[in-house]
Structure 1
Amino acid sequence: MSTESTQDTAADPAAAAREARGLRLVPVLLTLTVISGLIDAVSYLGLGHVFTANMTGNVVVLGFAAAGAPGFSVPHTLTSLGSFVLGAVAGGRLAVHLGKGSRRTWARLTLAAEAALLGASAVVAFAAPDATATVYTLIAVTGFAMGLRNATVRRLGVPDLTTTVLTMTLTGLAADSRAGGGAGTHSPRRTASVVAMLTGAALGAWLVLHHGLGIPLLLSAVVVAVLAVVTSGRE
């Protein structure tokens, strides 16, 4: 949240009350981390071994595909990477236009856009589950949605909650723990982030294996839509 927006909110008790109304950002971002695990389960298990939320894994997958490893696709991976980057560009532009105003409004609008994109993906998955175009559509739309969200989460700047990447979270959890010589002050939040991602991946994998792609995408859309309605602007 910008300094100007913080000062305006502090000077206006009514605005401060509106900003604080709803679910805090920490549980919201933890829930989004669950959704990230679910979306990557959909993409990796159902769309040809490609990630649409975890771009670190995607770059590695692109290397596998470029080397000719079986089961990986260069076009699929490039589609995901390109769509994610475009989504992040859109998220950055939204941050420029909305980031100086209400943090609550900004977060809610971005979550509403993500919910709409995931809902559209679910419709496509239900309508034409076996079509080749469906695979590319789902990769592109979910990748764009995850890029949009990541750009927003990055600008919101809530510590230890990126919603899609756990490498630095695990590093911080270990290096800053008492065993690593640190104080372990952020351990609960970091641990919760790891558990959230694992939970989402397990749930997503089960749904994909037993019910196809449409249901986990629809579930993701519904959860994010609820968050768009209830999110506040406070951490």
Structure 2
Amino acid sequence: MTAPKPSSPLPGLLLFLSATTGLVDAASVLGLGKVFTANMTGNIVFLGFAAAGTPGFAVAPFVVAIATFMLGAVIAGRLGTAHVDRPLRHWLVRAAIVETALLWIAALIALRLDVARQTPEGSVLAVIALTAIAMGFRNATVRQLKVADLTTTVLTMTITGIAADSRLAGGRGGNLGRRVGAIAAIFAGAAVGALLVLHVGLAIPLALAGLMVLVGTLACARHPSADRPRGV
């Protein structure tokens, strides 16, 4: 008799990482001038506001966020392709090291920012760029993992799925626990991140997010299924 394959640790890891999205977006929106570095939909909308000359919205931060987010996704795509036939843990740990390093460097730079005045401008843009690269890298990595209903950064389709697949809509309510968990994780991360930004500063939520990425991924990498290549 063939022994059953060990269950995947990925859903648990991605739920945990979803909380870091709330931390990063709290830091970027509240500390970097209304810029999202984990969610690009908001930046496209805000860029439209800026293009129309709306007071309080500048073009440069949103362009930097979008461009560097895409750069992070390109890097993650290359890393994922290089690890197709290698044990999953190797890919996950290397990806976590990259993301953590980016967030910790951003946290160090954030220590010298005047959040109220958004100065020095170069440092503000550097933190935007570093966190956007980290989140673009994360999004592309999670996309390659193909875990249903857990993107770790975007909730629009998750909320749509809850409603559209509900019994009220004639569905069976599939993956309800996972979907609700993703919403709760990002909500909790955003709430904690907001408290930290308002009462402690911008660097702490970024440093905490990096620590969570590293610790969560290392715990996941210890799972027996992480010995197998992706998709096996």
- TM-score under structure 1 normalisation? 0.87
* Deviations, residues 66-95 of structure 1 (Å, cap 9, x unaligned): 112222221000000000000000010111
From 160, 180, 201, the counterpart of 1:191: 180
Pairwise CA distance, 1:49: 0.7
Give percent identity, aligned residues only: 48
Q: Any idea what SS the aligned residue of 1:220 has?
A: helix
| Structure 1 gaps, min length 5 | 1-10
Measure, in 1, the Cα distance between the counterparts of 2:165 and 2:136: 29
Match of 2:192 in 1: 203
* Deviations, residues 204-235 of structure 1 (Å, cap 9, x unaligned): 11111111101111111111121232223749
Pairwise CA distance, 1:120: 0.7
Match of 1:177 in 2: 166
Which range is displaced more, 73-82 or 206-215? Answer: 206-215
* Deviations, residues 144-187 of structure 1 (Å, cap 9, x unaligned): 00011111100000100001110100000100011111001211
Is 1:212 matched with 2:218?
no
Corresponding residue pairs, total = 219
CA contact (8 A) 2:13 2:217 kept: no
CA contact (8 A) 1:108 1:231 kept: no
Measure, in 2, the Cα distance between the counterparts of 1:159 and 1:116: 27
Pairwise CA distance, 1:128: 4.5
Aligned partner letter, 1:97: A
Measure, in 2, the Cα distance between the counterparts of 1:200 and 1:155: 24
Q: Any idea what SS the aligned residue of 2:150 has?
A: coil
Q: Any idea what SS the aligned residue of 1:179 has?
A: helix
Measure, in 1, the Cα distance between the counterparts of 2:41 and 2:85: 30
CA contact (8 A) 1:108 1:227 kept: no
Measure, in 2, the Cα distance between the counterparts of 1:118 and 1:111: 11
Match of 1:7 in 2: none
| Structure 2 gaps, min length 5 | 227-232
Is 1:123 matched with 2:112?
no
- TM-score under structure 2 normalisation? 0.88
CA RMSD of aligned residues (A): 2.1
CA contact (8 A) 2:74 2:137 kept: yes
- Counterparts in 2 of 1:1-235, with a 5 A limit? 24-129=9-114, 130-232=119-221, 234=225
Aligned partner letter, 1:150: N
CA contact (8 A) 1:92 1:151 kept: yes
Aligned partner letter, 2:144: R
* Deviations, residues 39-58 of structure 1 (Å, cap 9, x unaligned): 01111111111100001111
CA contact (8 A) 1:48 1:73 kept: no
Aligned partner letter, 1:88: A
Name the structure where helix makes up a greater proportion of residues: 1
Measure, in 2, the Cα distance between the counterparts of 1:215 and 1:147: 21
